[in-house]
Amino acid sequence: MEGDWLLAVHSGAGRYGASNEAAYLSLLRCALESTHRVISSASCPPTAAEMAAHLLQSFELSRLTNAGLGANLTEQGRVECEASVACGETHSVSCCGAVRGVRRPSALALRLLQQATRVEEGDANATFAFGRQPPLVVVGDHARQLARDFGLETATDAELDEFQVTDRAQQHWDKWRRRFRGAETEAEGDEERLDTVGAICMDPRGNVAAALSSGGVALKVPGRLGLAGCPRMGCDAANAVDGRGDGNGSRKRKRSSRGQNKAKNAFAVACTGRGEQFVRSNLVGALARRLARSSDVERALRKAVVESTAANGGRGIEGGVLALVAPPPCTTQMRADGDNVRSVELGVAFTTPCMGVGFLHCRADAEPQVQVELLRRPETSQAQGSDQQQLAIHVSLFRLPVLSQGI
């Protein structure tokens, strides 16, 4: 392994039961360390998109989180999952939604992205001859067959209705059914998971990626899509643009492209929360525009949340955001040993009581630095939204010097 990798994950925003805190922290660490082992043992360098999707594997195979195994159940008592992957290098995003019977939905989203990239690069594929386009978004029953065609683990027809349904998820479903029927009210302190786990990644060459996986909200309408199943509504990523240009071309052409050549930060965003609010407000779009330009990550996060609150009809956005920002290559600093170093920032903003996050900074010449934490919102957090819908914003920042290659 050469150069630095930066991996970050979140386990969702909401309320975490005190009895499960240690298990969540262990799961966050497991996701990071297992992905680091894949990177360290790889015979050829993996892509940032591959590692962003791989970071979600531990969550999708765990009974603890709301993704894959043990996910929230629909009105009909079944698991329907969704996932998405955004690649900053190719400017592409892929999603799957309302998926039943696929063990790892994020792997399906990744395969869609990889397939489309190969076709765009000229790989001969009879399936997509005569100008047919490979899909970037798939939903519904046929997604399971596509996953099977990709060689992914899927359920049989006989297993389908019970696939990924756990006792814990069934109890959670029973509880929400009773509440829906007015049989009981919510108990103070109940654990609440706001539906999405996410990951972001930056490789040694500065390529960034983001990925999400979710089982959706409890008792959801079958076929419903949340932020993980909609392109660029829950995650997004873009590589940096240095803005220097090549110095060639006419003055007229330079003037016409001047706006396009401005330096832009690399960024990756992975959200969690009430999906309809994120879709309605387009928080990710607002945040992406700010992160690409802003040198103040905390301000960008706060401004995007406030701006999206207005787009959400003045109602506060309930959820959280994990964001990575790296300056363009022209701002790198050279150390005495000749290495190029970029100052990378990780920001976490959330409006819920707490949010589980973790990051791993791995270097070729040192042991990986791992940090996992359940961040809790202070009482003094800044409020946003109308008087009736006040939600407090809490922002935490982590700054890391990252060694970069090829820039």
Q: What is the torsional sign of CA 122, 125, 130, 134?
A: negative
Angle at which helices 297-311 and 283-293 cross, to 10°: 150
Tell how strand 137-139 and strand 92-99 pair up.
parallel
- CATH code where residue 368 lies: 3.60.20.30
Which of the two residues, 190 and 280, has the higher pLDDT score? 280
Host domain of residue 369 = 5-67+197-404
Q: Exposure pattern of 362-400 as b/e (b: 16+ CB <10 Å)?
A: bbeeeebebebbbbebeeeeeebbeeebebbbbbeebeb
pTM of this prediction exceeds 0.85: yes
Residue 261 maps to a domain: yes
**Does residue 321 form part of some domain?**
yes
In a domain, 175, yes or no: no
Domain-embedded: residue 163: no
Do the beta carbons of residue 150 and residue 96 sit within 8 Å? no
More confident residue, 396 or 7: 7
Task: Over range 39-55, report the average pLDDT.
Answer: 95
Q: Look at residue 250 in the predicted model and tell me its pLDDT.
A: 38
* Pair 14, 60: CB distance under 8 Å: no
Element (H, E) at 13: strand 5-15
pLDDT of residue 126: 59
Using pLDDT thresholds of 50, 70 and 90, give the confidence band for residue 367: confident
Q: Say which DSSP state 150 is in.
A: T
Is residue 281 domain-resident?
yes
Active site (annotated) includes residue 156: no
Band the pLDDT of 74: cuts 50, 70, 90. Answer: very high
Q: Which stretch of 102-106, 174-178, 257-261 has the lowest confidence by average pLDDT?
A: 257-261
- Tell me which residue of 341, 191, 207, 198 sits closest to 266, measured CA to CA: 207
Domain count, the chain: 1
| pLDDT greater at residue 122 or residue 402 | 122
What is the overall mean pLDDT for the chain?
86
Does the pLDDT at position 170 exceed 70?
A: yes
Mean pLDDT of 311-318: 91
* pLDDT on residue 201: 97
Q: Is residue 203 part of a domain?
A: yes
Task: Choose the catalytic residue: 35, 47, 65, 196.
Answer: 196
Residue 349 lies in a domain: yes
Provide CB contacts within 8 A for 405, sequence distance 6+.
2, 3, 204, 205, 340
* Angstrom distance (rounded) from CA 128 to CA 280: 34
SS3 86: strand
Confirm whether 360 is domain-assigned.
yes
